[in-house]
Amino acid sequence: MIRWRIGIISCIWLILLLSVNLRLYQIQVTSTRAFSKQEFDLIQLAAEAQSREIILQSGRGKILDRNGDTFVGQEKWRVIVFPQTKEQIELRKGKFQQMSAILDFPIHLLTSKLQTIKHPVFLSYPDRRDLTLTNDQARKIRSLQIPGMIVVRSDGRMLHQQVGQQVIGQVLRQPFILEQQYKEELDRGIYTRQSRVGISGIEAAFEKELHGSKEKILHYYRTRHGRPLLGAEVKIVEKREPKAMSPHTVVTTLDKEIQQQVESILEKYRVTEGAIVVQEIKTGDILAMASAPMGHVVENDMNPWDHRALMEATPGSIFKLLIAIVGLEEGLVSVQTPFYCKGVWEAFRLKDANGKGHGTKTFAQAFAHSCNLYFGSLSKQLGRKQIEKYARQMGFNQKIMWSSKSRRHAPNEHKGMIFSPSTDPKDIGAVVQTGIGQRDVKITPVQAANLVTALFHQGKTYSPRLVAEVRDANGRVVERFPRKMLPHSKKLKEGTSLAIRQMMRETVTDGTAISLKNAKWKLAGKTGTAQVGVNKDRFHKWMIGFGPYEQPRYSVAVLVRSVKNPDDPRARQIFGQVMDVLAHIENKSRD
């Protein structure tokens, strides 16, 4: 009897222990977002727990851009700056002015930066350029002996204003992720439970290739109120993994200068949430993929490590680009097919933005002026099956970033949606609303840019690359990622792509993007406004397109999410600014 009771109790304890372990796994790995009423993000909590330390040298491999410029992994002189009060800056005003001159960093921006940061950071230039020092600059800054200004050698990982922050990814200690995803490495002694691993972006996708065997960490002290203790002694600690290993180098398709510039544009236009994608038309490669918010701290329930270029959003009128392709392919319209728009279609609660109607317009004009009634009517004729078929063919409703059975360049990419599984297939209203990019439709900015690029490849859609190759410690290429098309991709009719490109040009010369008519390059595109939110009182603002029009080289997608003003012009402005930057970079390279 006693043995029987002991057996029962042991079984109960074993079940409880397994339940606790399963729940911990759910909390820490599968549900790190939005757990419990407080929606704790355990990865963010882990980051905060490690906030008293700064990675000087991660020991991890380099991540390079397509030109060989280093994003992270190259050891250089950098300066760590501690927060300063106005009084502290005034006390050492002369020394800060000298520091400003040495770094060519405007004094008002430098002092503003020192007063606004909450914890010690590596100093970066205001436009997000990496701030590294020559040996002479390092010596001069050190000689100033300003408390809270520390010159160190660092490989530039997890910087405060990291260029390409979300696409490069986050590196943290996360024991439970180690236990679940890298158990073999733990068992072999390659990792320990204190090892740092990539948990997002390229750092996660190529963790095994990038992982190193030693790191150097700077520890600093904080007051009981959480503020960094200025002037207190810091401690530098070196840690080694049990087994030595030589990390590899990951060569991306990104262009660091373009990436830095588009991130700076997001900040210039004060985009609190949004994304920019720049894709090379010839190759389908991603040249830049920027996301806002940036930084390291979750604020207003927005995680800055989530890449908005890979996250789905309601597209609004940019989805008319797909509907136009289907209509032309199926022969239901030509660019000259007329339609009378009276402004309101009461049966489907559909109206145009101004509610007044466009009158009689050709298909090309309706596209340029974004006529909802024309595209709602066309979608009704096409039907759900045709829209779904072409959406799949053109790269929607699927993850499109480069992947294989063993590798995925963008692990956290969303697939999007055309019709919800719960939507009645016979619901004509849903089809009409889908035609203007509302209802269930969700796409990602990278899918939007890729659709534009497909117009220059006879309608065939790329599986865009983020990484070109991996090299070992000796520089030998050990893995290449060849360019490829999506498996469902098919050619369009010869005239369809040409007609769409001309209609996109008319959108700029005489349509909703006429404000870009006098840009440096001749541009072509499509604007979009999507109503979102429970009360439909927020708006996603889009602009997608290509340039220059005569010799197209770049597809660009811009999304500014959840704005209050339906007439917010920033998506168009940012699109134009990005194209101007690309023109400037090209001109500079020719000089």
Q: What is the dihedral of CA 369, 521, 400, 496, to 10 degrees?
A: 50
* pLDDT tens string 511-570: 999 999 999 999 999 999 999 988 888 999 999 999 999 999 999 999 999 999 999 999
* pLDDT tens string 339-369: 888 878 877 888 887 667 788 899 999 999 9
52-66, 233-247, 282-296, 493-507: least confidently modelled range: 233-247
- State the average pLDDT for the chain: 89
Predicted confidence band of residue 7 (pLDDT cuts 50, 70, 90): low
Do 138 and 77 contact (CB within 8 A), yes or no?
yes
Predicted confidence band of residue 35 (pLDDT cuts 50, 70, 90): very low
* pLDDT tens string 76-117: 999 999 999 999 999 999 999 999 999 999 999 999 999 999
DSSP sequence for 91-127: HTHHHHHHHHHHHT--HHHHHHHHHH-SS-EE-B-TT
39-48, 291-300, 486-495: least confidently modelled range: 39-48
195 has a pLDDT exceeding 80: yes
Q: 61-252 and 256-295+308-470+481-590 share one CATH topology?
A: no
The mean per-residue pLDDT over the stretch 201-216 comes to 92
The mean per-residue pLDDT over the stretch 480-503 comes to 94
Distances (CA, A) of 72 to 172, 191, 490, 497: 15, 21, 38, 40
Question: At residue 13, what are phi and psi to the nearest 5 degrees?
Answer: -60, -40
Cα–Cα distance for residue pair 252/543, rounded to 1 Å: 26
Do 315 and 445 contact (CB within 8 A), yes or no?
no
- The highest-level CATH class for domain 256-295+308-470+481-590 is alpha beta
42-51, 53-62, 328-337, 561-570: least confidently modelled range: 42-51
* pLDDT tens string 244-284: 788 999 999 999 999 999 999 999 999 999 999 999 999 99
5 has a pLDDT exceeding 90: no
Cα–Cα distance for residue pair 377/395, rounded to 1 Å: 24
Per-residue burial over 199-208, b if 16 or more Cβ lie within 10 Å, else e, is: bbbbbbbbbe
408 has a pLDDT exceeding 60: yes
* pLDDT tens string 108-165: 999 999 999 988 999 999 888 889 999 999 999 999 999 999 999 999 997 888 899 9
CB neighbours of 229 closer than 8 A, spacing ≥ 6? 220, 221, 222, 223
Cα–Cα distance for residue pair 563/567, rounded to 1 Å: 9
The mean per-residue pLDDT over the stretch 226-243 comes to 74
Domain segments of the chain: what residues?
61-252, 256-295+308-470+481-590
User: Of 450 and 12, which is predicted with more confidence?
Assistant: 450
Instruction: Give the three-state DSSP class for 462.
Output: strand
Encoded tokens for 8? 């029962």
497 has a pLDDT exceeding 80: yes
Residue with tokens 């466009």: 358
pLDDT of residue 213: 83
User: Nearest to residue 149, comparing CAs of 101, 188, 104, 96?
Assistant: 96
40-44, 388-392, 550-554: least confidently modelled range: 40-44
Encoded tokens for 275? 């994304």
The mean per-residue pLDDT over the stretch 582-586 comes to 95
Encoded tokens for 161? 């204003």
Angle at 535 (CA atoms; ends 530, 536), nearest 5 degrees: 10
pLDDT of residue 223: 74
Rounded CA Rg of the chain:
27
pLDDT of residue 255: 98
Task: Tell me the pTM.
Answer: 0.87
- Strands (DSSP E) along 253-353, which ranges? 274-280, 286-292, 338-341, 344-345, 350-351
Residue with tokens 């606004």: 116
- The highest-level CATH class for domain 61-252 is alpha beta
Do 36 and 42 contact (CB within 8 A), yes or no?
no
Cα–Cα distance for residue pair 277/275, rounded to 1 Å: 7
Cα–Cα distance for residue pair 321/240, rounded to 1 Å: 54
